[in-house]
Amino acid sequence: MDIKFTPVSSLGEFGLIDKFASLSARFSNPNILTSIGDDAAVLKTTAGNLSVITTDILVQNVHFDTSYTSMKHLGRKAAAVNLSDIAAMSAIPTAAFVSLGIHSNLSVEMVEEFYEALTGEFGRFGCAVAGGDTSASPIGFIASITVAGEVEPDRVPMRGGARAGDIVCVTGDLGRSHAGLKVLQREKSRYVEAGQPADFLANFEGYDSALQKHLIPEPQLKLSRDITDKIRVHSMIDVSDGLVSDMLHICRASRVSASLDEEFIPLDPITKRTAKEFNEDPLAYALYGGEDYELIFTIAESDYQKLYSLEGYIRPIGRITEGEPQVTIKRTNGSNETYTDFPSYQHFAKRNRI
């Protein structure tokens, strides 16, 4: 195998920027008038449209673990996570801005792999990199990403727009990303406990769809536009922290309650099987796992039938009601669980949050 390790320092900042510029140039967007190579990017907006801007920072050993996330997966996921926020506003992405902090122990090949996957994922949705910044980092790898897009004012769904009587819908299935994470963490523990042997074989067989969901989530840009093409969506959010937290964000912003039925919350068979292996409740993966990057949205009951004409898996999971901001889960065993605050992230100790 021909694996190269070129130290970043041997290329220098301008050499690295040249590589980034040529990888970025594989994709373009007609609304980007100037991009890399000026003080700022200049973007054209369709008259009357609104600009939508989102930003995320990823820090090594906080948001990702390079022992089971390749730079390629990381690059793609970094783009996808931001595009998912754009999808939650039913907007169309235009331009991305990518700032990197790079420690000198990283190779040019690693950074290039990240950047190629990142620009490729943006490019797949018509979004081009229009700017950024590059810096040394005293430790590890830092990626700070900003994405700009645009949306028509009459269709942007806000978090604060949910109304009593709305039906709560969700795209895809929930908890599968967390199932993938559990498997990755288990195999990492096995590897560490075995003394990190060079010939270690991780046991990933049969978990493909869970691993894929965790490592390379799909932003629901097209489905979001398809939905708002047909329906005036009252509120929408993407599932990054888990169903309870993200639903509670809508409830707080809209000053309403949500009542969700366990029996309607979509769980994939692989999520159920994985949770069973770990002796855990698969519903907990959906409620608190997060990182599914599906969409939760609320619509008027009278619009519900319009969803049938859409391609894509969309399910109703409950109702918006009047009342204090809270989320109630009606369990199939007849009990109710009510959340007035965000469930602790320590549930899964998944993220090394502040």
**Distance in Å, CB of 58 to a copy of itself, minimum:** 8
- Comparison of 43 and 317: residue with beta carbon closer to a copy of itself: 43
Kindly report the backbone phi and psi dihedral angles of residue 50, in degrees, each rounded to the nearest multiple of 5, phi listed first.
-100, 150
**Distance in Å, CB of 319 to a copy of itself, minimum:** 22
Give yes or no for a contact between 96 and 147, defined as CB atoms under 8 angstroms apart. yes
In order of 154, 185, 211, 257, the CA distances from 233 in angstroms are 10, 37, 31, 17
**Distance in Å, CB of 245 to a copy of itself, minimum:** 11
Using the structure block, give the residue that is written with the tokens 């008038």: 33
Give yes or no for a contact between 208 and 300, defined as CB atoms under 8 angstroms apart. no
Residue 86 neighbours by CB under 8 Å, 6+ apart: 52, 54, 92, 93, 147, 149, 219, 221
**Distance in Å, CB of 112 to a copy of itself, minimum:** 14
**What whole-number distance in Å separates Cα of residue 46 and Cα of residue 319?**
36
Residue 32 neighbours by CB under 8 Å, 6+ apart: 41, 42, 43, 44, 94, 95, 128, 130
**What whole-number distance in Å separates Cα of residue 306 and Cα of residue 132?**
41
**Distance in Å, CB of 262 to a copy of itself, minimum:** 26
**Distance in Å, CB of 46 to a copy of itself, minimum:** 9
**Distance in Å, CB of 346 to a copy of itself, minimum:** 11
**What whole-number distance in Å separates Cα of residue 102 and Cα of residue 104?**
6
- Comparison of 146 and 326: residue with beta carbon closer to a copy of itself: 146
